[in-house]
Chain A
């Protein structure tokens, strides 16, 4: 979508769209499904970077997932890297550009499944980077398969009767693992399924960027987001399912630092 017009003043609808854009956001098309929680998390990230005046210092490193296309819609430098490797790539970026605000944006399939080693080692090294994990419990981009963060009982295309611990093991609480490491300055888990959680998640993200930029250590924010398509649910049921299932397995709040 574009707000530009060929003549005359922009329409009221076009003005509304323009005014609704997040800071640093470029208007354009995306391919995310109705009810997806990623755009909310993404907006919070842009607001935080803007409010902390990091827009001319930020370098983002993204993995692979539905959200990856969003980097085309943000006016920030981005490096799109291999599945799961973003914390290692971000380490290289940060070590040669220590003045930059380096962050990763990854999904749970990217980070908890493929890239668990990379994030844990970056955390253990105390890299001054911020890692944002968007956790919706599925590989959304490939159509809804089970990840290391799928919760017990969750139906996915590769756990059709629901995730059974006996067959599939248990979900990996990445934020808790990261919080246990000494090099880590800040860890929190938020959600984007209601206004209160959204406001808290923004505060978590802001703190996470602050501690990394100020050199206190590694920071990590897990954001529970909705994927009604991958959850086989009506769009409107996404927020409720998140609260009723994901929050039970992944409790919200600050896990380390304040």
Chain B
């Protein structure tokens, strides 16, 4: 299929359907609303269901039901709505029901929410953050694969720019390799055979086939997330090999930082950029390696400092880690004054690395 000019939300909707998503539920809330509208428009022709749910709580629980019944399912919202969904996301992590959550956020203040959750229990949530619409299309399909691979809810941390930007993209189904059969899904056909199934967070089985019980079940899930943490780290680095200063950023803020790094490099300034693509698992070792020659690490994020905690854990106190981001209360999170302009970031970086570093 040739590339077409698509609005980000519509591109993500098409990518989800291409990935086999056949159930979607959401509650309108900008900038997520456009994705919900695209799904409502496109899902019937794909033979799927799109529910305009009466609340975010209903939306995520409908999605959990569809996922438990074996369908590729997704929901979404933005930060405030995702907050309402956290209980069910935790539930799904613990009873191992896969689905995708699209956080079309109003900015970057949902980092803790997306990477630390807010539900109960020992669980983690794979979270990918695209830098643009093209990557959002790729990640959408990858996320459905990862959800099924690990039987877990997963999150895409998009935002207003992902949702509303028009970009020329090519939405083609992508193969990510084999997946285990969904022989755990509830279809109702085994009643009375002694092989009926049960899904719940405490993993109590049937009287004739007792499950592992909560302790063993939860330990197995904890072990699973340890495996995920090792296997699913994704990142991108730019000119870090000999960098004296590395600037870390994520999502749609990262291209602005990369532009600054490119400009400063052309001025002879030894700076580099690092972007965690997976916010959880956070690419700690890769970041540490990227900062091997650095004497300073700067963190640009559009919030009061959230990802910086993960950066500091990765750096381990070897060099100073300095926040250079700012809180944005703008509805898009991206258009308040000078926050996301290349000159603002460039000036801020120059001020911190010192004029001596420049020719």
Residues of A near any B CB (own CB < 8 A): 23-24, 26-29, 49-50, 54-59, 61, 69, 71-82, 85, 88-97, 100-102, 117-118, 121
Task: Decide: B199 and A79 in contact? CB cutoff 8 A.
Answer: yes
In the bound assembly, the distance between CA atoms of A121 and B27 in angstroms comes to: 14
Instruction: Using known A-B contacts A72-B205, A72-B207, A80-B198, determine if residue A56 contacts B65 with beta carbons closer than 8 Å.
Output: no
Question: Which residues of B lie under 8 Å from residue A96 when comparing CB positions?
Answer: 22-23, 49, 65-66, 69-71, 73
- CA of A77 to CA of B204 in the docked complex: distance in angstroms? 13
Supposing A92-B25, A92-B65, A96-B73 touch, asked if A73 and B207 sit within 8 A by C-beta, the answer is yes
Which residues 195-214 of B have a CB within 8 angstroms of A? 196-202, 204-208, 210
Known: A56-B188, A77-B186, A82-B87. 11 other contacts (CB 8 A): A49-B191, A56-B192, A73-B207, A75-B208, A78-B198, A78-B199, A92-B23, A92-B73, A96-B23, A96-B65, A121-B54
Give chain A nearest CB distance to B258 CB in angstroms. 40
The 9 closest A-B pairs by CB, nearest first: A92-B65, A28-B207, A80-B200, A92-B66, A89-B65, A55-B191, A88-B61, A92-B62, A96-B71
CA distance A79 to B184 in the complex (A): 11
Q: Which residues of A contact B205 (CB under 8 A)?
A: 72
| Residue B193 CB within 8 A of the other chain | yes
A201 to B249, CA, bound (A): 62
Q: Is the interface of B mostly helix, strand, loop or mixed?
A: loop
User: Are A75 and B61 touching (Cβ within 8 A)?
Assistant: no
Q: Is the CB of B204 within 8 A of A72?
A: yes
CB-based contact B23/A82 at 8 Å: no
CB distance from A53 to the nearest CB of B (A): 10
A92 touches B69 (CB 8 A): yes
Whose C-beta in chain B lies nearest to the C-beta of A100?
B188
Given A24-B191, A82-B87, A93-B69, are A117 and B186 also a contact pair (CB < 8 Å)? Answer: no
**Cβ-based interface call for B155 (8 A):** no
The complex places the Cα of A72 from the Cα of B187 at a distance, in Å, of 17
Closest to B67 in A: A92
* Chain B residues, Cβ within 8 Å of A27: 207
Contacts of B301 in A (CB 8 A): none
In the complex, chain A residues whose CB is within 8 Å of the CB of B55 = 117
List 30 A-B residue pairs with CB atoms under 8 Å apart, sorted by A's residue number.
A26-B206, A26-B208, A28-B208, A49-B191, A54-B191, A55-B191, A56-B192, A56-B193, A57-B189, A72-B207, A75-B192, A75-B208, A76-B196, A78-B200, A79-B65, A80-B95, A85-B57, A88-B58, A88-B62, A89-B62, A91-B51, A91-B62, A92-B25, A93-B68, A95-B51, A95-B62, A100-B188, A118-B57, A118-B61, A121-B54
